[in-house]
Amino acid sequence: MTIQWFPGHMAKAQREVQEKLKLVDFVIELVDARAPFSSQNPLLQSLLQQKSKMIVLMKEDLADDKVTKQWLSFFTEQGMTAISVNVNNRKDMQNVVQTAKDVAQEKMEKLKRKGIRPRPARAMIIGIPNVGKSTLINRLANKKVAKTGDRPGVTKNQQWIKVKKEFELLDTPGILWPKFEDELVGYRLAAIGTIKDQLLPIEDVAAYIIQYLQQHYPEVLEERYGVTDDNNDMLAIFEWIGNKRGCLESGGRINMEKTSDVIIQDLRSGKLGKVTLEDPSEID
């Protein structure tokens, strides 16, 4: 299965990112802490090779703390600067600013040695849709300067945002790549709400979540839904959850679409607890 989704504004945004890279000193790449590898855009990696980069694992409050530490170690071993953040935590926001200053320090010192007048460091902030770019920018700027939303594709244009006197951010629209060759990447991104819900059958996405929980977080399934890890009948599991959560149609039948939506929203909202959908050991 190949999932394809590449709106026109994303193709334009990709070209603009390439053009504007020469204006910035470094890049801040945002990924979702629940799927840090799958939420990296492979198309952008080749474009960014010549720039210093820091990786920010967003939504750490929804991700498994133990696995997040593994991912931070993984990126560090790859020679990258990586931090994880909860945008509602003030200390985390201060850490973003300090880490950005550290990443930019070498470039700023080079400019100083060349006799160039001191200026704020300039960074491009990139990431796939719905990863939390606009929310992070608004927290850093301490005011609403970027549109936010719980759906992919809210930001359509690039804009410069000042972060106090520390540095300047060039915001960019979220950019996906044309198609996902690995269907697991598609399911992970669909589960956390990065791609539009219409791209994959909602029942398939919910079934993927259930199967992953059975393998990695069986205690979550039992605590939230009363489903034990030895139950491999997916239809029976859906009927059990649907009945338990009141997803019924006339005649007492289970509405599979509503049941699927309950499962997906429980994951996205954190009602299932801290869950991460991939770990570094799965990366080839």
- The pLDDT score that the predictor gives to residue 129 is 82
- Write down how long the chain is: 284
Q: Which stretches of the chain drop beneath a pLDDT of 70?
A: 1-14, 46, 49, 143-158, 173-181, 284
pLDDT at 68: 98
Give 170: exposed, middle or buried? Use CB within 10 Å, 0-12, 13-18, 19+.
Answer: buried
Output the pTM of the full model. Answer: 0.86
Rounded to whole angstroms, how far apart are CA atoms 187 and 211? Answer: 12
Q: Which residues contact 211 (CB under 8 A, 6 or more apart)?
A: 234
| CA–CA dist 263, 186 (Å, integer) | 17
Euclidean distance between CA atoms 178 and 185, whole angstroms? 13
Domains of the chain: 3-179 (3.40.50.300), 201-277 (1.10.1580.10)
The closest alpha carbon to 213, from 200, 229, 198, belongs to 229
At residue 160, what is the residue type?
W
pLDDT at 111: 75
Q: What integer pLDDT is reported at residue 121 of this predicted model?
A: 85
Q: For residue range 126-178, what is the model confidence (pLDDT) as tens digits? A: 888 889 888 898 898 886 665 544 444 444 456 788 887 778 888 876 666 55
What is the structure's pLDDT at 9? 52
d(CA 22, CA 113): 20
Beta bridge partners of residue 84, listed in sequence order? 57
Phi and psi at residue 254, in whole multiples of 5°?
A: -80, 130
Q: Which residues contact 68 (CB under 8 A, 6 or more apart)?
A: 33, 57, 60, 84, 276
